[in-house]
Structures are given as structure tokens and as C-alpha cells.
Amino acid sequence: MADFGYWYAPDGRSEAQQQAFERVEIKPQALECLFTLACGRVFRVSQDNLFADFDTSGSTFALDVYQQAEDYIARPHTLPRDAKTLLHTLLCVCN
């Protein structure tokens, strides 16, 4: 299934599929984090694999997402152009 151009597999992924999902989802979810916070809302990382049949407690995905969001804040020139435009608009409209 296409997910905005990123690789996607439905819930119930294997451990290897979950690791692949997490690698490609760090930046998109970091952007979602910034957009959500710009709107004054609480952001929650989504590992999107509710029925995993393996231990996910060792995942650093949430930390990786928040660190990427912090990196975008520290280095705004690394934000994709469209994301920067949307973020600026949200900050203007929501604040």
C-alpha cells in the first residue's frame, strides 16, 4: 500500500518489517510532530503495529523521531521546503 510515497506494510508486521518501517518513518513522523505542536496539540509517535508478535520494548523509534524533530528545530534549513511553508503557516494561524 502506498503511504505518501513511503514504504508501508499493514499492521502485524514481522520484526524485520517493523525495523524497515521505523527507519523510513522517522522523518515523516518528526514533521508530523512539528505540525502537531505548531497547532498546540499533543503529538504521539505511532509505531503502527498493534499486533506485533515480538518484543518491541527495545525500539528507539520514539526517541529517534523526537531527536529528528529537535534537529529540524536546531537546523531549520534542513526542513523540506513544503514542510517549512506549512509549519510557518500553522504557526501563524494557530498562535
- Give the pLDDT score at 2: 42
pLDDT tens profile 40-78: 999 999 877 767 778 877 889 999 999 999 999 999 999
> How many domains does the chain contain in total?
1
Distance CA 66, CA 37 (A): 12
In a domain, 62, yes or no: yes
Supply the mean pLDDT for the chain: 87
Can you give the residue range of the structural domain that contains 80?
Answer: 1-40+58-95
More confident residue, 85 or 46: 85
Helix 15-38 to helix 61-74 angle (10° resolution) is 40
- Give the pLDDT score at 1: 40
In a domain, 48, yes or no: no
In a domain, 49, yes or no: no
Bridge partner list, 3: 6
In a domain, 52, yes or no: no
Distance CA 70, CA 73 (A): 5
In terms of pTM, does the model score above 0.75? yes
